[in-house]
A = this chain, B = another copy of it.
Amino acid sequence: MKYPIGAIKKYNSYGNRGMGLESDIGESNRYYLVNDIAIIHKKPTPITIAKVDYPSRLEAVIKEGYFRTPSTTDYNGIYKGKYIDFEAKETTHKTSFPLENIHKHQINHLKSIYKHGGIGFIIVRFTSLNKTFLLTIEDLLEFINGTTRKSIPFEYFETKGYIIKDKYNPRIDYLEIIDQLYFKGGNNGK
């Protein structure tokens, strides 16, 4: 049985628990939750279960399972009454972000969210440059529709994206940017 390569990478990244973008977003989401600012959760990794053992009445152990391709993005929730939806990715590339890092159906999902009045975006970290950007689905689609390139140049993130500065708590305060864009009548506001 085949499984998506992305899923393996994701699983392997568990070895780095406590580090990395996923962990930073997780801690930021906990900060938002505990302080009653927003309710945003990461969805569990989808797994197809093929075999379960029951060593005792109160114990179930999955003995055979396979990673599935996720049908949506990893994160969603609610902030100031608005539906929020995003995908987060790290890249070691220095000059561009390869689009193959995001499934086409995830981009289509974000596009639908936008059409239905939600706020959709991607968070991309260039690990070698130690820079993290938020790029709205509107600007992501503008890039994709205007090019045949297979990757987004770093300059596009500098021009159209919004840099997320490292903070102590929350570690990456992406809602600060969402605030400016959608709730304070910024240029890109709706």
Q: How far is the CA of A139 from the CA of B45 in the complex (A)?
A: 33
The answer to whether A83 has its CB under 8 Å from any CB of chain B is yes
Out of B11, B39, B116, which one reaches A78, CB within 8 Å?
A: B116
The answer to whether A149 has its CB under 8 Å from any CB of chain B is no
Question: Could you name 29 residue pairs across A and B whose Cβ atoms are closer than 8 Å?
Answer: A1-B59, A3-B58, A3-B59, A5-B58, A8-B60, A11-B52, A14-B49, A36-B115, A38-B116, A39-B112, A39-B118, A41-B71, A41-B72, A43-B43, A43-B44, A44-B45, A44-B46, A45-B47, A47-B47, A47-B65, A49-B65, A62-B62, A62-B66, A62-B67, A76-B76, A78-B116, A78-B117, A81-B83, A83-B83
In contact, B62 and A65 (Cβ under 8 angstroms)? yes
| Identical subunits present | 2
Smallest CB separation, A19 vs chain B (Å)? 18
Q: How far is the CA of A39 from the CA of B120 in the complex (A)?
A: 13
Question: Which A residues contact B (CB, under 8 angstroms)?
Answer: 1-3, 5, 7-8, 11, 14, 36, 38-39, 41, 43-47, 49, 52, 54, 58-68, 70-72, 76-83, 85, 109, 112-113, 115-118
A39-B112, A81-B117, A116-B78 given; A47·B62 CB < 8 A: yes
Additional 20 contacts, C-beta under 8 A, given A80-B116, A81-B83: A3-B58, A11-B60, A14-B49, A36-B112, A38-B116, A41-B72, A43-B43, A44-B44, A45-B49, A47-B49, A60-B67, A61-B66, A62-B62, A62-B65, A62-B66, A63-B63, A80-B117, A81-B118, A82-B83, A83-B83
In contact, B116 and A49 (Cβ under 8 angstroms)? no
Q: Given the complex, which residues of B lie within 8 Å of A63, measured CB to CB?
A: 63-64
Nearest first, the 8 closest Cβ-Cβ pairs linking A and B are A81-B117, A62-B65, A44-B46, A78-B83, A83-B83, A44-B44, A78-B118, A8-B60
